[in-house]
């Protein structure tokens, strides 16, 4: 497994460089994006509808940001995959935030056209200046484009770097980190404090980069054992998580499909019950998330293996694993001491009601978990002998 650990470290270092690269974005572009969002969100006397226009893992990066907007402002988030919310309100302010690395995702471009035809505002984040999405939004009077250069699933690069970050991982991670970092700039502008040097944004990116470098400190022996338990199996993979950790879990689950494995996100309607030979991978920073704890109990009861991803060594999850003699099957993602209490504090819910504290805390665990799971996918591709070209053929 020594070679797989090297792959893990190389993939993690590469993704840290993706985060660091965000600190070199043109600050005029960062200012323009923050100003435009602040202008839309500043109105307090009416409901503002924000539509997430994205697909696949790009959508999951965007939905984390929509949750922030909903938690902090009078902005109602709508995702195009939710039939309950899939309506355009002409009587309210409407903003579409589109994310498309290639700019050529048909469904996303159709949604962009719909928003434009209805007269709504559009903000696009893309990696492709030549893409259809860029053309549509650039020529629209109520639209603006932010270009974040990053490898997407459509790129043809088949180098070693490609193997360490296959199929669009770079762009999606950068979008996730960028949106979480620029959020502070949006807040400050709404409060009347505009800093053209984007000091909050830059300091947050620096913080994210420092946190993600800690991921390489995962215990190598324990990680090797975890890889050995995770990959060589013919059973099903069921990945769990709630809230922003759930978005990471859904992105991780998609990648097992690309690795030619049978996988499910735990909360999908078609997810089967556990059986012997399955593996359950709950992702929970606190280790006290009610749904994940119930999933662990159900998995053990039905004979499935459990390989959790967490950061809290003193959680109920750890206690459950110890009771089964399986504590060595846990991977602990390191975070710095200053954030540990925020993530691991004893703030457990027993229902879907999430505390104000959980809604507003810094997303350090989720970003680190995204990087960790992306690195795991690179390891899995090497372990299983799957090239990126093969993963693309399995991509929807």
pLDDT in tens, 119-157: 889 999 999 999 999 999 999 999 999 999 876 555 545
User: What pLDDT, on the 0 to 100 scale, is given for residue 217?
Assistant: 82
Please tell me the chain's helix, strand, coil percentages from 3-state DSSP, rounded to the nearest 5.
55, 10, 35
- Tell me: the pLDDT tens digits for 206-252? 999 999 899 888 888 999 999 999 998 889 999 999 888 888 999 99
- φ and ψ of 51, to 5 deg: -100, 125
Domains of the chain as residue ranges with CATH: 2-211 (3.40.50.10490), 215-393 (3.40.50.10490)
Terminal Cα distance for the chain, rounded: 31
227-233 — which CB contacts under 8 Å span 24+ positions? Answer: 227/1, 227/4, 227/376, 227/379, 227/383, 228/1, 229/279, 229/305, 229/307, 229/329, 230/279, 230/281, 230/307, 230/376, 230/380, 231/379, 231/380, 231/383, 231/384, 232/383, 233/277, 233/279
Band the pLDDT of 391: cuts 50, 70, 90: low
How many CB atoms neighbour CB 180 within 10 A? 22
Q: Which of the four pLDDT bands, split at 50, 70 and 90, describes residue 352? A: very low
DSSP code, position 23: G
DSSP state of 283: B
DSSP letter, residue 140:
S
Residue 322 neighbours by CB distance under 10 Å: 12
Q: What is the pLDDT of residues 36-71, one digit of tens each?
A: 999 998 876 567 789 999 988 888 889 889 988 888
- Is the pLDDT reported for residue 176 higher than 50? yes
pLDDT, tens digit, 9 for 90 and up, residues 155-167: 545 444 566 665 4
Going by C-beta distance under 8 Å and a sequence separation of 6 or more, which residues neighbour residue 156?
none
pLDDT tens track for 272-289: 899 999 999 999 988 988
* Cα Rg of the chain, angstroms: 21
pTM score, two decimals? 0.88
């Amino acid at each position: 497994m020594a070679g797989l650990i090297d792959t893990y470290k190389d993939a993690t270092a590469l993704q840290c460089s993706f985060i660091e690269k965000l600190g070199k974005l043109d600050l005029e572009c960062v200012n323009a994006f923050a100003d435009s969002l602040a202008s839309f969100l500043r109105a307090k006397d009416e409901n503002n509808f924000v539509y997430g226009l994205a697909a696949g893992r790009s959508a999951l990066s965007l939905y984390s940001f929509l949750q922030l907007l909903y938690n902090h402002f009078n902005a109602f988030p709508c995702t195009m995959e939710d039939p309950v919310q899939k309506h355009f309100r002409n009587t309210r302010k409407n903003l579409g935030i589109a994310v498309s690395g290639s700019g050529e995702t048909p469904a996303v471009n159709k949604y962009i056209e719909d928003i434009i035809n209805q007269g709504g505002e559009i903000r696009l984040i893309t990696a492709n200046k030549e893409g259809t999405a860029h053309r549509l939004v650039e020529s629209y009077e109520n639209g603006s484009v932010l270009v974040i250069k990053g490898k997407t699933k459509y790129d043809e690069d088949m180098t070693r770097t490609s193997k360490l970050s296959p199929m669009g991982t770079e762009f999606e991670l950068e979008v996730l980190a960028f949106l979480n970092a620029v959020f502070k700039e949006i807040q400050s502008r709404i409060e009347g404090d505009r800093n053209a040097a984007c000091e909050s944004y830059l300091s947050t990116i620096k913080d994210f980069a420092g946190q993600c470098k800690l991921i390489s400190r995962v215990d190598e022996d324990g990680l090797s054992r975890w890889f050995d338990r995770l990959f060589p199996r013919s059973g099903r993979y069921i990945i769990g998580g709630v809230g922003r950790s759930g978005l990471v879990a859904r992105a991780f689950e998609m990648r097992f499909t690309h690795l030619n494995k049978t996988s499910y996100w735990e909360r999908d309607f078609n997810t089967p019950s556990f059986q012997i030979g399955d593996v359950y991978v709950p992702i929970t920073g606190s280790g006290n998330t009610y749904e994940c704890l119930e999933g662990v109990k159900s998995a053990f009861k039905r004979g499935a293996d459990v390989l959790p991803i967490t950061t809290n060594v003193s959680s109920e999850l750890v206690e459950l694993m110890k009771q089964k003699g399986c504590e060595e099957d846990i991977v602990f993602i390191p975070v710095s001491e200053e954030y540990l209490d925020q993530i691991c504090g004893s703030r457990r819910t027993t229902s879907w009601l999430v505390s104000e504290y959980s809604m507003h805390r810094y997303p350090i665990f989720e970003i680190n978990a995204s990087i960790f799971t992306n690195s795991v996918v690179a390891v899995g591709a090497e372990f299983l002998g799957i090239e990126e070209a093969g993963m693309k053929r399995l991509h929807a």
